[in-house]
Structure 1
Amino acid sequence: MSADLPEYYFRVRENGALVFRVDTQNRQRRIDMDQIAVVNIRNGEIKPHGDRILSDDDLEVIRDWMQERQEVLAHRDIDDIHRAVDYMNLTTQWAQSRATEEQLEDVTDALLLAMHDLRSVLVRKKADRLLKGNQ
């Protein structure tokens, strides 16, 4: 089992990760994880943990992970938006066919405000893109 483990482990946090070096080559033959760095995806910062000095290999692995993580998060963002479109369609069908008056009363104002806000942003952004395309 230990031969299949990666050399590094990234414990994901909201804005990045804690980076650990995985060690299985010890006398007790157990898995040791030694924290070597803290990574911030938002600003690209890599902070060595404690008094550590990160090797070029460490930095390369961390930067590669950061790039892959940013790609995963970007994919998730657009996937979430596509799901939101599906939810809007399902909500429309629910309101049309199954919702009771009490249920509609409960959600109508919140939905109308959210849709108005979204529409305003989308229209403004679309107009900005059209204006940029004409210049």
Structure 2
Amino acid sequence: MGAELPEYYFRVRENGAAVFRVDTENRQRRIEMDQIAVVNIRNGEIKPHGDRTLSQGDLARIKAWMEDRAEVLAHRDIDDIHRAVDYLNLTTQWAQSRATDDQLENVTDALLLAMHDLRSVLVRKKADRLISASNDRS
């Protein structure tokens, strides 16, 4: 392995992570990972594993990881949306230039409904922002 291992390892789960303390200072010089907590990003909950008591250092490192993870997930969300815009453009080009009648028949209704739903939400949210901005200026 490389240089020094981190003191903590976070095994990412659906809503957070299982937190392990990494130990290489043992007689066998093996890597041991001792689970110390489970964290939930959505509600900010940190649950010690078993009957453990987390130190202030443990809590500080876990909270820092949670903040970093929230930033990563937020960045991924917006990146996914930018990709969706690209996919819509690629889909338009495909429909215009390469799609067969059978392929179009297979996807047209689903695409139209999804685009109608998205358009409705975007128009409503845009109107809400314009109204809010107008009220803020008043």
TM-score bin, normalised by smaller chain: over 0.9
Counterpart CA distance in 1 for 2:27 and 2:72 is 37
Does residue 60 (structure 1) correspond to residue 43 (structure 2)? The answer is no
Q: CA deviation at 1:4?
A: 1.4
Counterpart CA distance in 2 for 1:60 and 1:118 is 40
Q: Deviations over 1:71-94 (max 9, x none)?
A: 000000000000000000000000
Q: Structure 1-normalised TM-score?
A: 0.98
Q: Extract structure 1 runs of 4+ deviating beyond 2 A.
A: none
Q: Deviations over 1:38-73 (max 9, x none)?
A: 000000000000000000000000000000000000
Q: Structure 2-normalised TM-score?
A: 0.96
Counterpart CA distance in 2 for 1:44 and 1:58 is 15
Aligned Cα RMSD in Å? 0.8
Q: Tell me the equivalent position of 2:14.
A: 14
The DSSP-based 3-state class of the residue aligned with 1:34 is strand
Q: Tell me the equivalent position of 2:109.
A: 109
Q: Is the 8 A contact 1:2 1:24 kept in 2?
A: no
Q: Tell me the equivalent position of 1:29.
A: 29
Summarize the Cα distance change of 1:5–1:43 in structure 2 as closer, same or farther, 3 Å threshold: same
Q: Tell me the equivalent position of 1:89.
A: 89
Q: Tell me the equivalent position of 2:43.
A: 43
Query: 5+ unaligned residues in a row in structure 2: which ranges?
Result: none
Q: Tell me the equivalent position of 2:98.
A: 98
Q: CA deviation at 1:13?
A: 0.4
**Partner amino acid for 1:71?**
E
Alignment of 1:120-131 (within 5 A): 120-131=120-131
